[in-house]
Structure 1
Amino acid sequence: MTNDGDPTDASIPTRIEGRFKAIVICWFLGLGNLVAWNSMLTISDYYYQVFPTYHPSRVLTLVYQPFSFGTMILLAYYEAKINTRMRILFGYTLFSLCTLALLLVDIGTSGKGGIANYIGICVLVGGFGLADAFTQGGIVGDLSFMEPIFLQSFFGGLAASGALTSGLRLVTKWAFDKADDGLRKGVILFLSISTLFEFVCVFLYAYVFGRIPIVKHFRRKAASEGSKTVASDLAAAGIHTSYDDGTVVDRLSNMTLIRQNVDLALDLWLIYALTLSIIPGFLFENTGHHQLGSWYSVVLMAHFNLWDLIGRYVPLGGCLRLESRKGLMMACLSRLLLVPCFYFTARYGEQGWMIVLVSFLGLTNGYLTVCALAVGPKGYKAPEQNALGNLLVVFLIAGIFSGVVLDWLWLINNGSF
C-alpha cells in the first residue's frame, strides 16, 4: 500500500509501492546523464576525419572538464540552499539542447571542418560539462538518502550509456559503411537518437519520478530530518511540508564530512584519474595500426563500456561487494600498475591483449565506483547524505579532470607535441 502518512513513519520502504519503477527510472536518468558526452567520445572517429590535426578526443575532453569541475564545486558549496528539482531539470534540458545543437551544426555546415566549426563544437561541449555538474551532483545527493539500490541503478545507467552508445555506433558504422558519406550519415542518426534520450529524461524527472510513492516516502523522511532541498520536489508531487521554516539545519560542515570520508574521496579521484588518462585519447591516438583498422578504437571503446557496465552490477551480489575502506584504497592504488601494462602492450602487444586490458580497466572502474559511493552515505542524516553525495561527485569529477590532463603525457613519447 502507498504510505503517505507522517514523514517519520517507520514502515519498511520495500513494502511501499513503486520500488521497481523507481529503480528503472534511476537507470534511465543515469543513461541520460552521460549519453550526450559518451556520444561525443564514440563519434571521435568521425571528428578525426573532419578535424585531423586538432586532437579531437583530447581537446574536447579537456574543454568539457573545467566547466563540469568548476560548476560542481560551486554547486556543492551552496548545495543546502539550491532548489534541487530546478537544478536537475536545468541540467537535463541543457543536455537536450546542446545535443540538438550539435546535430544542427553538423547539418548546417554539411560536415565541413575548419577552426570556426571546431570552436562551435567546443562551446557545445562546454555546455555538456555544465549540464553534467547540475545533473550528476544533484541526483547523487538526492539518491544518497534513499535506498542504495537507487544509487547503484543510477550509476548502472551511467555505464549503460557508454555501452549503448558504443553498440549503437557499431551498428550505424556498419549500416552506412559502404554508403556515400556513410560515416557522417551514421553520426547524424546517432546524434538524433541521443537527443531523443535526453528529452525523455526531462519528462521522467519532471512528471514521473517525484510522484512514485517510495520516492515521496524518502523525501518526506528527509524533510523531517531538516533537509530543505526536497521541498520543491514534494510540492510538485502535491505534498506541502512545514519543515522549510527558514532555520539553519544542524548538520556537519562540508569540511568535517570530507575529513571523515577523505579515503573515499581519494578512491574516487584515483579511479577516474587513471581511467581518463587512458580513455579516450590513448585509445584513439597511441595504440598504433592493427588488423581492425578504423574499427579498432571503436571496438576498444565498446569493450571498455560493456565491462564498465558489468562491473557496476557485480556488487549486487552481497558477497562480491567490497565494503572495507582499506580494501578499497588498496584496490584503487593497485590499478596504477595498469599504466605500464598499457604502455608496453601498445608498443609490443597484439590487439587481443589490448582488448583484454581495456576490458579489465572498464570492469574495475565500474565495480570500484559503486563500492566507494555505496559506503559513503551510511550513518548520516538526510541533509548530510545529500551534502556528502555532492562532495564525492566533486572528487570524482576532479579525478576525471586530472586524468584528462595526464592523458596528454602519452603524446611526449609519441612525438606529437
Structure 2
Amino acid sequence: MSTDVVGAEAPQVKGRFLGILICWLLGNGSLFAWNSMLTIEDYYVHLFPDYHPTRILTLAYQPFAFGITLIMTYYEAKMNTRRRNLAGFSLFFLGSFALIILDIATKGRGGLGVFVGVCIISAIFGIADANCQGALVGDLSLMCPEFVQSFMAGLAASGVLTSALRLITKAAFESSKDGLRIGAILFFSITCLFELLCLLLYTFVFAKLPIVKYYRSKAASEGSKTVASDLAAAGIISDQQAQIEEDPQKYKRLTTKELLMENIDYAFDIYLIYVLTLSIFPGFLSEDTGEHSLGSW
C-alpha cells in the first residue's frame, strides 16, 4: 500500500506541521511575558508591600490592552499586520529585558520610583498584547483551522508553562541568600529569551513557509488588505489593487459595525469571559484571605 498522502505535494500542505508548531510557540509568546509578570508577583509583593502590586499591575495593563485593541479594531483594514506582530513581540522582548535591567540597576530595592517603572512596563505589555495577539488571530484566521487551534492552545499553555517554570526557579533558590530575587531574575531571563525566539521565528521563518505563502496569496486575491507586507517579506508581489479596480463589487468589505452585528453573540460571550476572568484575577485572588498552610507558595 502506498504511504503517499493525497495532495501532500500541493503548496498549501508543505510546511503544515512546522507552521502548527510555530503557531503554538507564538501563542505562548503572546502571553508569556504578561503571565510571567503575574506569576512573579510574590517577588513584587515582597518588594513593594505598600503598593498592592497584584492589583495595580493588572490595572496598569488592562486599559492599554483594551484601548489599543479598540483602536486596532476600528482601523483593522488599514493596519499592517506584519508591523503589528513585529512591534508586539519586540515590546514583549524589550519589556522583559527592561525588568531585568531595572532590578539589577536598583539592586533589588523597592520604592515608589521602581514601582512606577514596573507599572510602565506592565502597560507596555498591554500595548504589546493588543498588537500581536489580535493581529495573529486575524492573520491565522485566513489560513487553515489547525493554525488558529494551535495558536489558541499556545495561549492556554502559556499559563501552565509560566507557573511550572516559576515553581522550578522558586524551589531552586528558596534556601539561598536573596533566593527570591535570583529566581525572579532567572525567570525573566528565560522569558526574555523566549520572546526573542518568537520574534525571530515570526520574522524569518513563518512568512516563508509554503503553506503560509499560499494562504496569504489566497487572502490577497480575495480582497484582504493586511497581508501585502507579509507577502513582500516572502518575496511575493501582489497585484491586488489592479484586481480591485477591475471588479470593485467582488472585494466589497463589511464595515466594523456590520461585522459586530453579525457576530454579536460571540462579542457578548467574550465580554462575559472577561468579566469572569477579571472577577477572579485580580478580583478575588488579590484579596487578603489570610495565612495558608502553603505559605508563600
What is the TM-score of this pair, normalised by structure 2?
Answer: 0.92
Match of 2:136 in 1: 139
Pick aligned residue for 1:228 from 225, 234, 238: 225
Query: How many Å separate the matches in 2 of 1:75 and 1:291?
Result: 45
Deviation of 1:280 (Å) = 4.0
Cα deviation, 1:270-298, whole Å, max 9, x if unaligned, reads 11210221124532434432211111xxx
Pick the aligned partner of 1:264 from 251, 263, 266. Answer: 266
Equivalent residue letter for 1:158: L
Task: Show the 5 A alignment for 1:6-405.
Answer: 13=12, 16-245=13-242, 249-295=251-297
Partner in structure 1 of residue 3 of structure 2: none
Amino acid in structure 2 at the alignment position of 1:198: E
Secondary structure in 2 matching 1:146: coil
Q: In structure 2, the residue corresponding to 1:293 is in which secondary structure?
A: coil
Q: May I ask how many residue pairs the two structures share in their alignment?
A: 285
How far the C-alpha of 1:86 sits from its partner, in A, is 1.1
- Whole-Å Cα distance in 2 between the matches of residues 121 and 140 of structure 1? 28
CA distance in 2, matches of 1:280, 1:197: 25
Distance in 2 (CA, whole Å) between partners of 1:264 and 1:284 is 29
- Contact 1:231–1:244 (8 Å) recurs in 2: no
Q: CA deviation at 1:3?
A: 4.3
Q: Distance in 2 between matches of 1:259 and 1:31?
A: 31
Residue 340 of structure 1 corresponds to: none
1:19-47 CA-partner distances (Å, limit 9, x unpaired):
11111000010111111100110011111
Cα pair distance change 1:2/1:134, threshold 3 Å: farther
Q: Which amino acid aligns with 2:26?
A: L
Structure 1 gaps of 5+ residues are 5-12, 296-417
How many Å separate the matches in 2 of 1:286 and 1:117?
23
| Structure 2 gap ranges (5+) | 1-7
One-letter amino acid of the structure 1 residue matched with residue 254 of structure 2: L
Q: Verify the 8 A CA contact 2:55 2:286 in the aligned structure 1.
A: no
Deviation, 1:2, is 5.1
Q: Secondary structure at the match of 1:138?
A: helix
Which whole-Å CA distance do the structure 1 matches of 2:168 and 2:42 have between them?
Answer: 14
1:377 aligns with none
Q: 1:209 to 1:86 in 2, by over 3 A?
A: same
How much has 1:146 moved relative to structure 2? 1.2
Deviation of the 1:140 alpha carbon:
0.5
CA–CA distance in structure 1, aligned partners of residues 179 and 151 of structure 2:
34
Amino acid at match of 1:254: T
Task: Provide the C-alpha distance between the structure 1 equivalents of 2:287 and 2:162, rounded to a whole number of angstroms.
Answer: 20
Amino acid at match of 2:278: L
Per-residue CA deviation, residues 25-82 of structure 1 (Å, 9 max, x unaligned), is 0001011111110011001111110111211011000000111111111111111111
The alignment's C-alpha RMSD in Å is: 1.4
Residue identity opposite 1:88 in structure 2:
N
CA deviation vs aligned residue, 1:199-247 (integer Å, no higher than 9, x gap): 1011000111111111111111101101121111111111111113475
- Identity percentage over the alignment? 58
Given that 1:102 and 1:121 are in contact with CA atoms closer than 8 Å, whether structure 2 keeps it comes out as yes
Take 2:240 and 2:290, find their aligned partners in 1: how far apart are those partners?
60
Counterpart position of 1:364 = none
Report the 3-state secondary structure (helix = DSSP H, G, I; strand = E; otherwise coil) of the residue aligned with 2:280: coil
Query: Once the two structures are superposed, what CA deviation does each residue of 1:95-132 show, in whole Å capped at 9, x if it has no partner?
Result: 10011001100111011111111111111111111111
1:153 CA drift (Å):
0.8
Segment of structure 1 superposing worse, 280-289 or 261-270? 280-289
1:160 is displaced (CA, Å) by 1.5
Q: Which amino acid aligns with 1:168?
A: L
SS of 1:241's partner is coil
Aligned mates of 1:260, 1:75 — CA distance in 2: 19
Code of the residue aligned with 1:283 in structure 2: it is L
Please tell me the residue identity of whatever aligns with 1:252: L
